């Protein structure tokens, strides 16, 4: 039989150990610890992080995690940058430059073992096929992409990378290429070519979402790559391009973008997208990295180049205590 204790006229269930699978707002008294326990939920939210040293947009992607991130290149106003910066979870520090300044590159890997590829110069289209690897200290030039392009999606690691779609100068590409740490090889095409598309995941489980189709405009399409071919995933709730992306094929995060400059954020579970907390500042052409539950958004513009960084924390179920001894 259940035992109850009275608190200001309310009966609270008394237990010797905390129950499993509690619900939001559930309250109980733990006789063993002599504490009132309450299940509370901390909602998902974006919080300010440390500012980039150089304000910029059109980085397209970064590499690494929320507490160990890397970005390179971009556009501060009307030129291309070679500047690279590392993030330690609170501040950015400038590192050695890219060998070739570019904007709108794809990226994959970690803070200390990354690869950046493609991109373009100013003035456009000037699509590039250069590939550069970062070892935590400096960049080194590697074998070129098979097809020069910019604003495509990247995924994977430094030795197992994936680059898909993108712009090729007035049109969009459906090309997919895999990187083995030495060279690129062509793979099966995406169904719908898009530039300013977001990408995440791995070489054998990649995800491409959003982007700008020509023709077609802003897209809500999602495509999943299995290491051989692309198949349709669930559409995003809102069509957008020049957005940030992070995570894995079955656990992704999408934020910001165009048209109009938005702050909205969506999470993907492998089949469908759902809305979550919005960015504090709406931005386009921002860089995204991290995971579905711990994402990082940095740079972009609204309307001028930004150095702002925001960190995403997913919803958290927590149990709090009140000592009544």
Inside any domain, residue 259: yes
pLDDT at 11: 77
Inside any domain, residue 322: no
Q: Are residues 16 and 132 in the same domain?
A: no
Residue 55, CA distances (Å) to 74, 163, 278 in order: 9, 26, 21
Asked if 292 and 267 count as a contact pair (C-beta separation under 8 A), the reply is yes
pLDDT at 325: 59
Token look-up 């960015």 returns 279
Q: Are residues 206 and 75 in the same domain?
A: yes
Q: Are residues 206 and 288 in the same domain?
A: yes
Inside any domain, residue 325: no
Q: Are residues 130 and 114 in the same domain?
A: yes
| CATH code of the domain containing 304 | 2.120.10.80
pLDDT at 10: 66
Q: Are residues 18 and 57 in the same domain?
A: no
Q: Are residues 103 and 171 in the same domain?
A: yes
Residues 6+ apart with CB under 8 A from 209: 197, 198, 199, 221, 222, 223, 233, 236, 245, 252, 254, 268
Q: Backbone phi, then psi, for 225, in 5-degree steps?
A: -110, 135
Q: Are residues 135 and 255 in the same domain?
A: yes
Q: Are residues 142 and 214 in the same domain?
A: yes
Q: Are residues 38 and 52 in the same domain?
A: no
pLDDT at 56: 98
* pTM summary value: 0.89
Q: Are residues 99 and 29 in the same domain?
A: no
Domain that holds residue 298: 48-313
Inside any domain, residue 194: yes
**Number of domains, the chain:** 2
Inside any domain, residue 284: yes
Inside any domain, residue 324: no
Inside any domain, residue 323: no
Give me the tens of pLDDT residue by residue for the chain, a chain 325 residues long: 555 455 556 678 888 888 887 777 788 788 888 888 887 888 999 999 999 999 999 999 999 999 999 999 999 999 999 999 999 999 999 999 999 999 999 999 999 999 999 999 998 778 999 999 999 999 999 999 999 999 999 999 999 999 999 999 889 999 999 999 999 999 999 999 999 999 999 999 999 999 999 989 999 999 999 999 999 999 999 999 999 999 999 999 999 999 999 999 999 999 999 999 999 999 999 999 999 999 999 999 999 999 999 999 999 877 777 666 5
CB count in 10 Å sphere of residue 15: 15
Inside any domain, residue 114: yes
Q: Are residues 117 and 17 in the same domain?
A: no
Q: Are residues 18 and 97 in the same domain?
A: no
């Amino acid at each position: 039989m259940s035992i109850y204790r009275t608190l200001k006229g309310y009966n609270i269930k008394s237990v010797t150990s905390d129950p499993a699978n509690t619900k939001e707002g559930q309250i109980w008294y733990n006789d063993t610890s002599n504490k009132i326990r309450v299940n509370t939920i901390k909602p998902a939210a974006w919080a300010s992080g440390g500012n980039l040293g150089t304000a910029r947009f059109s980085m397209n992607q970064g590499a690494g995690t929320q507490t160990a991130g890397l970005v390179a290149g971009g556009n501060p106003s009307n030129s291309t940058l070679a500047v690279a910066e590392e993030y330690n979870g609170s501040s950015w520090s400038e590192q050695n430059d890219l060998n070739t300044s570019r904007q709108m590159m794809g990226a994959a890997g970690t803070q200390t073992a990354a690869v950046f590829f493609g991109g373009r110069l100013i003035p456009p289209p000037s699509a590039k096929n250069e590939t550069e690897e970062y070892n935590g200290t400096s960049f080194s030039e590697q074998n070129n992409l098979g097809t020069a392009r910019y604003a495509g999606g990247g995924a994977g690691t430094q030795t197992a990378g994936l680059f898909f779609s993108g712009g090729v100068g007035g049109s969009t590409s459906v090309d997919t290429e895999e990187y083995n740490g030495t060279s690129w090889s062509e793979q099966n095409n995406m169904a719908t070519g898009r530039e300013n598309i977001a990408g995440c995941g791995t070489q054998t489980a990649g995800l491409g979402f959003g982007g700008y189709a020509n023709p077609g405009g802003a897209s809500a399409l999602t495509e999943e790559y299995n290491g051989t071919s692309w198949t349709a995933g669930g559409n995003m709730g809102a069509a957008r391009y020049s957005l940030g992306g992070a995570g894995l094929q079955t656990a992704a995060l999408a934020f910001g973008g165009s048209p109009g400059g938005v702050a909205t954020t969506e999470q993907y579970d492998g089949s469908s997208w759902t809305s979550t907390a919005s960015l504090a500042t709406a931005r386009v052409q921002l860089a995204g990295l991290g995971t579905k539950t711990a994402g990082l958004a940095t740079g972009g513009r609204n309307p001028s180049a930004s150095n702002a960084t925001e960190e995403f924390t997913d919803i958290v179920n927590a149990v709090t205590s009140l000592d009544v001894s």
